[in-house]
A and B are shown apart, each in its own frame.
Chain A
Amino acid sequence: MFYVSVFFQYMAQYMKTKLQYRADLLVEFVSDFMSQAANLVFLLVVFGHTSLLHGWTRDEILFIYGFFLVPYAVFGAFFNIWDFNERYIVRGEMDRVLTRPVHSLFQVILERMELESLLGGVTGMIIMAYAGARLHLSLHWYDIFLFILFVLGGALIYAGVFVSLATISFWSDARTSIMPMMYNISNYGRYPIDIYHRVVRYILTWILPFAFVGVYPASYFLGKKEWYGYAFLTPIMGIIFFAIAVCLWNAGVKRYRGAGN
């Protein structure tokens, strides 16, 4: 209960600071939208030349892309830990965080919250609605709950991988470019998994499970029965990967000695 109230207080502060700079906010929306538009244009142009991509139609691929954007937006809004090393370890901000009676990861997440990323999720849902309508997908009453469950699972997978990477800073404070590399790998999850080589498919399923963010859960809604098993694994994978990340984080915090000043 205490954590919930802390969450809302951070949120209120966040709103106040953001609304001070409305022009920046608008610019951020537009540039986020542009990055999604670039991917959409790629898909639309490519499907001007072919009707099937490894057995997937244009609308199915659009649907997967739209779905991918939703967990990705949730992740982007709450797990903005790209600069964890510089901001918290090198500058010693972690000292301040650790003096407070709330779990350190929870604080770091809330301090770096960027709720405007959620708008990307709205774009994703619009794309899904468009593609879904053209595919005449039929929905059950319980699909909305599965959708929420899959979105949370996908966001937790993302969070698990990136929080785990951030914890590297506890052991070595050298700057690494592993995060941007992982970001590029995560983009593989936007497309149907079966277009990739066997090895890549295995990695995306079990080692860096980004396929659970896009194609696996989306194929449940597309009625692709052969992927149902994987789709239902999504929340479980999310919990496992996030739990690993939290364990790594706790172990890292124990080792943390401060940048010294």
Chain B
Amino acid sequence: MDKYLEMIRIRFLMMLAYRTNYYTGILIYAINIAAYYFLWLAIYGGKQTMQGMSMEQMTTYVAISWMARAFYFNNIDREIAMEIREGNVATELIRPYSYLGMKTMQGLGEGIFRLLFLSLPGLFLVALFLPLRFPTDAHTWIFFILSIALSFVINSELNLLAGIVTFFTLNNEGLLRAKRFVIDLFSGLILPISFYPDWAQAVMKYFPFQGISYIPSMIVTESFQGQAIIDGLLFQFVWCALLIIPIRLLWRAAKKRLVVQGG
């Protein structure tokens, strides 16, 4: 356990060394949030509510989901792909820790860094310009923190899966890019799932994507109440557990047919 905590710490310190890169990161996120704010303002066009959400809730939804993205987002899929291409994965595999566990911990170290140095100051900046409304109920915050932790797990699991697929294809830049768009679109980042037509919503129930962004953002804007919160958290929890199965299976198969290119 200690060694994994150490991995989180090291990655955190590594990120800290390059923190100036993150000042522009804050601006990038703020620019995106503002763009969607204006779009939604035009979409609401004076309407009080749409799909049960007020404009104020929607603004908070947009701001929180982008800032939460800074926390759960990581590039471990790309890192795995690169380590395979460069052959480093061979030395990693003989070390006395789980390779996938190490990658996840590095992702967590990065996530915690961005949470402190990008999300929180970013949210503060955005709150100066846009009318955000944060919940005052402590329970909502507890549910949100739980939910965002599960988001991280689901997103990292999907990244691990995509990374492992590289073992079989050797070049999957396109696949990784496509995955990112699927997640942006179906996680609820750019559009709450409740806006999609009913048939699409029905289909999305069978995919883990809304557990990444939609559920935590709906919780923190108090658009989910009572049973809906519990259902959402359960949905996330079940997917966290379910995704372990394909990871295990693919990982076992991948290790068997690992081809180290010039390692």
Contact = CB atoms under 8 A, between A and B. Distances in A.
Contact of B181 (A24, A28, A38, A197): A38
A5 interface: no
A56 B38 CA distance: 14
A176 interface: yes
Interface in A182-200: 184-185, 187-188, 191-192, 195-197, 200
A27 interface: yes
8 contacts: A38-B184, A45-B197, A46-B43, A54-B42, A175-B21, A177-B28, A180-B28, A195-B39
A23 B175 CA distance: 12
A45 B181 contact: no
A195 B44 CA distance: 11
A49 interface: yes
Contacts of A139: none
Contacts of A49: 43, 50-51, 195
A27 B38 contact: no
Contacts of A48: 195, 197
Contact of A191 (B39, B177, B190): B39
A38 B175 contact: no
A42 B34 CA distance: 16
B42 A195 contact: yes
A138 B196 CA distance: 33
B24 A24 contact: no
Interface in A51-82: 52-54
A233 interface: no
Nearest to B175: A27
A34 interface: yes
A30 B184 contact: no
Interface string A20-35: 0001100110110011
B38 A196 contact: yes
3 tightest CB-CB pairs across the interface, nearest first? Answer: A27-B174, A195-B42, A177-B24
B54 to A, nearest CB: 14
Interface residues of A, number: 36
A185 B182 contact: no
Contacts of B32: 184
A125 to B, nearest CB: 21
Interface of B: 21, 24-25, 27-28, 31-32, 34-35, 38-39, 41-43, 45, 47, 50-51, 171-175, 177-178, 181-182, 184-185, 190-191, 195-197
Contacts of B195: 45-46, 48-49
Given A52-B45, A176-B24, A195-B42, A31 B31 contact: no
Contacts of B47: 50
Contact of B174 (A24, A46, A187, A195): A24
Interface of A: 23-24, 27-28, 30-31, 34-35, 37-38, 41-42, 45-46, 48-50, 52-54, 175-178, 180-181, 184-185, 187-188, 191-192, 195-197, 200
A27 B173 contact: yes
Given A45-B197, A53-B42, A181-B31, A28 B24 contact: no
B174 A45 contact: no
A27 B35 CA distance: 29
A134 B9 CA distance: 57
Given A34-B178, A46-B43, A195-B39, 5 more contacts: A37-B181, A177-B28, A178-B24, A181-B31, A200-B38
Contacts of B24: 176-178, 180-181
Contacts of A38: 181, 184-185, 190
B122 to A, nearest CB: 13
A207 to B, nearest CB: 14
A94 to B, nearest CB: 23
Contacts of A35: 177, 181
Contacts of B45: 50, 52-54
Contacts of A175: 21
Contact of A42 (B172, B173, B190): B190
A50 B47 CA distance: 10
A195 B37 CA distance: 10
Contacts of B196: 45
B28 A34 contact: no
